Each structure stands twice: as structure tokens, then as C-alpha cells.
Amino acid sequence: MILIKDAKQILTLEGAAKKGARHTLDQDLTALTGHAILIEKNKIKWIGPQKEIPKTVFKKIKKEISAKNKVVMPAFTECHTHTVFAGERYTEFEMRNTGVSYQEIAARGGGILSSRKALAATSKADLLKLTQKRVDKFIQQGVATIEIKSGYGLDLENEIKSLEVVKKLKSANFVKTFLGAHAIPKEFGSAKEYLAYLSEFIYPEIKRKKLADRVDIFIEKGFFSVEESRSYLELGKKIGLDIVIHADQLSLSGGTELAVQLGALSADHIIQIQDKEIKNLAQSEVTGVLLPLADLYMKCAYPPARKLIDAGARVAVSTDFNPGSCPSQDVQMTGLLARLEMKMTLAEVIVAYTLGASYALKRQATEGSLEVGKSAQFIFLEDSYAGLFYSSTETCVTHRFFDETLEKLVK
């Protein structure tokens, strides 16, 4: 058994967990002082006042870790990333920055299709090396669970290659998402034709090799429509995949409504949603995933976070790290933008980056808050949690506890 003792404060987020990560108030962070945590086999065995640790337990304690002057809280969860890719898209950034639209870049063979070329030309071993390096960068910021999408392969060989790479990654928990329906490759005449190919050739392989937990699709003008997506996602559900949707990012194209209808885990981006979609999302179990760092890069509007939260929706935040529209992995900056641009309170951002994100990945029963029976995955902060999502160059995250070890993080 491991004892975490002398913490200045422990944020368990128990209050937020009781409310299903909705309507978060400051007190839902459940800040405890004078408390300790007992860990056994990577699970939280006990949390309580340090003075009241049961005597019978003491002799079972194999290791004591001091959290003196530190704040202990759940590790972060990145619930929306495209971390497995090859090649950079520097030129495209300059194009976008000089006024060329995302759709226009795609039409010129840029965007996702240029990442496709780079990925196809990269061996699995090299792709794994590249991806692990990026994963380590998330870990250094206190992230314990990372969702990673395929979607730069766009054919059987390279989609499977991408997902197999995710399966081989180390040092964190990973959620694998099949995003074959990210863009329509040139060799297919229509979205419908391409989705039929994915259904017929890639779904069975994913099922056979257990390569994905979820299926995602980019519902947008010029990409995939709601009607094309519906049957494709339903088929994914039949082979055991959970559903997530890139929804209503560039235009109101119905992705959020479809997510609600299909009982998706999350609707992601949701920038263009209006009152009707906000209400329906808030009344559903679908988590709204907000990606403000991508919105900054895309110079587009931010999602209506305030309206969503006030309507009772559960939200998560994530980087959307990808080579095109968000080549940054900055967790602090993401949270900072959520505060500055989406007017979320600090407590709301903390919950959205932990428990809310765990809900988006269907891991809320084991992660996202520090409660008895849940995984012992947490971080130490220097001084105060008020230092989170405050500076884009400094982080108060000093350590992370994962797999029974405490690692010092880069400062």
C-alpha cells in the first residue's frame, strides 16, 4: 500500500462527480485539507483525515510519499487528439493565415490529404517513434489518458497502420478512435462510395484485431452529410464501437443533433450550434467537447460554452492536437483560452479537463476524480490550483502519479 501524506490540499472533484460534471461550482472541486490518500494496486483504497488512518492499515504501508506544500488533484485527460501523423503543414498555415479557406486548401490537395501522403510514406516504426514523442509531451504536462484518432491513412493499409501504432504506445492510457471518415480520398467518387469502402473493408479488420474503441466522422459541407453518416455510424455501433462526431465546426450541418439521436459519447467542436442544439445536447448524455486552441489557430468563433454550461450540458476541453488546424499540445494554453475566450470559470475548466473529458471517453467510472475505487492517477501542483490555466509559459504542475510511481515533470 502507498500513502500520499501531508498534502496542502487535495481536490477530489467528488462534488463534480455527484453532479455528473454538470453545473460545476467552485465547491464541486471538493478541496480537502489535512487529508491523506491510500493506494493499493493502482487504485484509491481510502481517502480521509490523515490523523484517522486506521492503525491496522499502517503496517501494510510499503511506501510513503510526501505531498508537502503541494495540491493533489486528478491528472488531465486529453479526449480529442490526432496525435498519430507524419509531416508538418507549415505552408498551409501561411496559406490560411493569408486568407485561403479550409475548404479551399482541401480542394487544392492540401489539408488532410497532404498529411495522408506523408503518413503513407512513413514506416510503422518511424510513425510509432514520432507519436510516442508527442505522447511524452502530453505526459510532461500532467496528462494520464489520451484519446488518439486515426484519419490520415484513409485506406485499409494506412488506417490500420495508424491504429496499430496507437496500440503500441506506452506510459499513459490510450483510447483509440477510428476516423477513416476524416476526408474523402481522391480515388473515390463520392462520400457514399468511400463510406461503403470503409464499412466493407476496414470495419471488419478493426473488429477482428480489436483496433479501435470508437468511430468518429467529420460531418461538414464538402465532407460527410448527416444522412450518409447515420448508417455508417450505426454500423460501427453494431461492431462494438462507441460513436463520436466532429460536429458543427464550420457550419451548422446537423452533427450535434445526430450525436444526440445516436447516443454518441461526444459531439466535438460544436461552434455553430444554436439554442435548439444547445438545449438538446444539455438534456442528453452526450458530452460537448470544446477545442479552443484549434479555434484560435483557425481564427474562427469559439463554441458557446457559457450557454452550454448554463443550460446544464456537460463539457470537456481538449487541444485537438493535429498537424493542420492545431499544431500545439499546450494544455495550459487550452485551459487559458477556455477562461479568456469562452468565459469558463477556473473550476469549470478543471472539471472539463478531468472528469468531463473522462465522460467523453466513457472512463468516468474509473478516472476523472479522486474517489475510493477509482484509478490512482493524479498530479501535484505547486502552491495553489489557482495557478492553473493562468500562464502560457509557466505551469504549476510539478509531478504526476501514475502506475504506482511519482514522476517529476518538466517545469
Spatial neighbors of 133 by CB under 8 A, at least 6 apart, are: none
Closest CB to Zn ion among 32 and 148?
Answer: 148
* Chain residue at closest Cβ approach to Zn ion: 320
Nearest to 278 by CA among 300, 301, 247, 322: 247
- Output the smallest distance, CB 179 to Zn ion, in A: 8
Closest CB to Zn ion among 32 and 217?
Answer: 217
Closest CB to Zn ion among 191 and 376?
Answer: 191
Residue showing cell 510514406: 121
- Output the smallest distance, CB 44 to Zn ion, in A: 32
Residues 310 to 339 in contact with Zn ion, rule: CB under 5 A: 320
Residue 114's alpha-carbon distances to 107, 119, 152, 186, 339, in angstroms, are 11, 9, 9, 12, 33
- Output the smallest distance, CB 65 to Zn ion, in A: 36
Residue showing cell 504536462: 141
- Output the smallest distance, CB 320 to Zn ion, in A: 5
How many chain residues are in contact with Zn ion, going by CB under 5 A? 1
Q: How many CB atoms lie within 10 A of CB 280?
A: 18
* 183-200 per-residue burial string, b: 16 or more CB within 10 A, e: under 16: bbeeeeeebbebbebbbe
Spatial neighbors of 86 by CB under 8 A, at least 6 apart, are: 115, 118, 119, 121, 122, 126, 127, 130, 152
- Output the smallest distance, CB 293 to Zn ion, in A: 11
Query: What is the CB-side half-sphere exposure of residue 316 using CA atoms within 13 A?
Result: 32
Closest CB to Zn ion among 147 and 320?
Answer: 320
Closest CB to Zn ion among 71 and 84?
Answer: 84
SS3 state at 217? strand
- Output the smallest distance, CB 247 to Zn ion, in A: 11
Closest CB to Zn ion among 15 and 180?
Answer: 180
- Output the smallest distance, CB 144 to Zn ion, in A: 20
Is 92 an interacting residue with respect to Zn ion (CB under 5 A)?
no
d(CA 152, CA 86): 9
Closest CB to Zn ion among 2 and 305?
Answer: 305
Binding region for Zn ion (CB under 5 A): 320
